[in-house]
Copies of this chain bind each other. A is one copy, B any other.
């Protein structure tokens, strides 16, 4: 961490900062310049230092981090890519993994029909929501445990592992009884009670970026789960909130190579939420794979016009099959398979 003192900082203020740094057991690097005095703390465990503790001291103008504030999530922790095995499906390995299925599980029939369709088209993992975070209390909130049972039946019939969302710590045990991967949605990326509880269990977790999380904050949220002891975490880009209204969110494709550089965790792209429109899903899925994503998550519904949620961004099984065909050569063009 670098601490920049104010232009006319008094000697006693500089000394107070130096003393505190030393009391914390760090070595001080002091640079007295013409215009400002700079105090550097350049230790390996900067993630334990709190910027604001120094910013509130008299005479301090600002502080700047030298290193990332996360540790276990970082490439410094391990250079080797984390590969998560889910019933034989490798996420983060050579092949780009496709997770597909409806936004919500609406009935036994629809999830079974969709599961068979996405399996046939080449998906490796089945998605479907049983607990739904909806912006309106008057909207369908999910089938709950009934939905989980239908998902489990779809897994039995197709062999596809299932991923589904969990919204609150008290639901984890139940959801983990059925699901192969637990998903944390964008509205819960900084729900720390939930993240801590997910660190205490051992099912893989897919952590989505919040709609206004920075990449650093996403990795700090991953750090909550990792530092709790659960190393099976994958992180995902699903669109961020910007001023642009032509799409529901702005898919931050830059985040994919940036995440691959900063972390060893697998990176998942969600072009459905990242655009909000089914006709943009395929081009953005291709872009995400071209940029280096390890997995793609898309929404498939047998009848989007009658979907109970997210219909406009859902592909029909036919359109999904076509997407898979178009995605394969792109994956190969970047040295991956599908």
Contacts and interface: CB of A to CB of B under 8 A. Distances in A.
Contacts of A310: 52
Contact of A330 (B52, B251, B252, B333): B333
Interface stretch (A86-94, A115-123, A237-245): A237-245
A279 interface: yes
Interface in A221-276: 221, 223-224, 227-228, 240-247, 250-258, 261, 274-275
A254 B245 contact: no
A27 interface: yes
A58 B289 CA distance: 29
A141 to B, nearest CB: 8
A57 interface: yes
A314 B52 CA distance: 11
Given A257-B283, A283-B290, A33 B38 contact: no
A223 B137 CA distance: 7
Given A223-B136, A243-B212, A250-B242, A309 B52 contact: yes
Contacts of A280: 254, 257-258
A291 interface: yes
A212 B214 contact: no
A254 B224 CA distance: 31
Interface string A278-311: 1110011011111110000000000011111111
Contact of A304 (B46, B56, B224): B56
A110 interface: no
A4 interface: yes
Of A169, A188, A244, chain B has the most CB atoms within 10 Å of the CB of A244
Interface in A196-230: 196, 210-212, 214-217, 220-221, 223-224, 227-228
A100 to B, nearest CB: 17
Of A7, A27, A36, A254, chain B has the most CB atoms within 10 Å of the CB of A254
8 contacts: A52-B307, A53-B307, A56-B312, A134-B192, A135-B217, A135-B221, A170-B170, A251-B252
